[in-house]
Structure 1
C-alpha cells in the first residue's frame, strides 16, 4: 500500500532503486510555518511604497536551520513571477572591511572586478550597478561574516546599508547567526531600521510532528515508517537538536538505507545504525582523539 505517500511521489515506487535514492537526496522545500511567515515578510518589502528610509529584515537563527533555503526559494519564486529581477542574494565574504563586503555584492551582481584592491573603485562600480539594476531587496547571507572586523569597519558596513536605502530605495535583508541581532540592536538608530524574523530551533510539538509526517509523505518508501510516533520522533529530535537541516539529513540517510536494505521503511534501529553525531558533540574530545 502507498496511501501514506503524496500523489506525485507514488510513481517513484516503480523506479529502480538508484533513481529513487537520487529523488530522496534531491533538495526539497518544506513550507513550514516559519518559512511561510518569512516569505510573507519578504514579499511585503517588494510591495512597499518608495521610501527614503527603507525598512529591512533580519532572519536570525542557528546554523543548519533553513535560513538560506528560505531566502533562495523566495528569490527563485520572484524570478518566476516577475519580468525583471528585483531580488538579489549576496554571499557575504569572510574578512573585515568594506573591500570584502563590496566584493560580496559585486560577485552577487555578476560584475567583474570584485577582487580589485581599490575600495573607492569598487564603490563607484557598485553605485553604477545599483543605479542601473535597481534592486528592491538585497539579501546578505551569512552577514555575521561582515561583523568580525574592527568597530569602524562594522560601522562603515552599516553606513552603507543606510545609504542604499536612502539613495537607491533598497531594503536590506540580513541572514545569519545571533551576532547580527546583537550588532543591529546595539544602537536605537539601527534597531529602528530592521525587523526581526526569528528562525529558532524546532520545539518538540505538533509543528515538529507535522514536519515528520510531511517528510514521510515525500519519500518513496513502500512501507509506512510512522516517523511522528514515539519513540521514533523523540530519537530524531534528540540527535537533530531541533535543527531542520539535521532533521532532513537524518531522515534522508535513513530512507536511503531502507531502500538499500530492502526494508522499505525507516525504523528506530535504522536511525541508530546511522551513528549520527549531533552538531554540539562534534567537537567532543574523545571523538576527536579517536580520529588521530
Structure 2
C-alpha cells in the first residue's frame, strides 16, 4: 500500500477495497483529534478527579448545534468512563453516567438515569421512589460524574418545573458529592443564570466555532489522512480550504458532513480526489436552523 502515502498507515488498505466498502468506511463515525478537544477533555478530566467536598464544582458545556459537543463528550467517556465489574464484589462500577434530558421533569430525569443501569422499576413509582433507586445505583456504582446532554431543553416548560429540576440536580450533587456536566446550545446559559445558587456552582465552558487559521488547516490535513481516496486532495490548500470553510461556516459537523459527501462523490465519479468542482457542487451544505434542502 505504498502508493497511498497521503493516508495514515492503518487506513491505507481500505483505499484498495471495493467502492462500496470504502463508502461504508467514510460513513462510519470515527474520532478526529484537535487542540480545543484536548483542552476540553483535560478540563473535564480535572473535574472528574476533583476531591469530594460539600459543594462540588460543575460545568455548563455549551456550543452551537452540530459543532461536536456530543462527540467530544462521548470521546471523554470512552477515555475515562468505561464501566467494568469489580472482581471482589461483582458489582458494576460506572465512573461516569451520561444521559439525555428532554424537559424539566424530575421523574423523567431519574428514569433516564435508571436506563443507564438497565435498572428495573415500576411505572407506578413516585418521584421519591425513583430518586431512592437512582441514587442507590449511582452510589453503588461509585459514579464520579453525571453528564446531562440537551440541557437547554429545561427551557421547554414552566419556571416552576425548571426550578424543581435544578433543585434536584443540586441535591444529587450535594448528596453524592459529584460534579455535574450540563451540555447544550448557548441558550442553556440562561437556565443557570436564573438561580444564584446554581450559577455559583457552574462554570461555563464554551466550544468555539472554527476560524480560518492554523488549527483549521491541521484539521483538514487530519481529515484527508483518514479518507480512503486513491489520490491526494490537498484539502488544506488555500483555495480549497477557504471554499470548505466558507460553505461550512466553521461548524465542525458541517465540515465533517461536507467532506463526507465530497469523498463519496470522488469515489462514485471515479475522480478519486476532492477537487474544487466537487466541493462547489455541495455549496448548499451550509449550517441551518431548520431542515436542510437537498439539491438534486
TM-score, length of structure 1 as denominator length: 0.89
Q: Deviations over 1:251-271 (max 9, x none)?
A: 011111111111110011112
Confirm or deny that 1:47 pairs with 2:43.
no
State the shift of 1:187 in Å: 3.8
Change (3 A) 1:114 1:184: farther
CA contact (8 A) 1:90 1:108 kept: yes
1:274 corresponding residue in structure 2: 282
CA contact (8 A) 1:102 1:123 kept: yes
State the shift of 1:138 in Å: 0.6
Confirm or deny that 1:136 pairs with 2:144.
yes
Q: Deviations over 1:69-94 (max 9, x none)?
A: 111111112245976321111111x2
2:90 corresponding residue in structure 1: none
1: CA distance, partners of 2:283 / 2:195: 45
The equivalences for 1:172-251 within 5 A come to 172-251=180-259
State the shift of 1:220 in Å: 1.4
1: CA distance, partners of 2:82 / 2:136: 26
Confirm or deny that 1:98 pairs with 2:115.
no
Change (3 A) 1:281 1:167: closer
Change (3 A) 1:279 1:55: same
Q: Deviations over 1:86-144 (max 9, x none)?
A: 1111111x233212222222223322338557323322222322232231011001111
Q: Deviations over 1:147-206 (max 9, x none)?
A: 321112111111122112221112110011112212213344222211222112111111
The more displaced of 48-57 and 146-155 is 146-155
CA contact (8 A) 1:102 1:114 kept: no
Residue number among 162, 170, 174 corresponding to 2:178 in the alignment: 170
What is the number of residues matched between the two proteins? Answer: 287
SS of the equivalent of 1:238 reads helix
RMSD in angstroms over aligned alpha carbons? 2.4
TM-score, length of structure 2 as denominator length: 0.88
2: CA distance, partners of 1:114 / 1:81: 25
CA contact (8 A) 2:152 2:191 kept: no
1: CA distance, partners of 2:122 / 2:158: 22
> Gaps spanning 5+ residues in structure 1: where?
none
Change (3 A) 1:104 1:31: same
Confirm or deny that 1:57 pairs with 2:59.
yes
> Gaps spanning 5+ residues in structure 2: where?
87-92
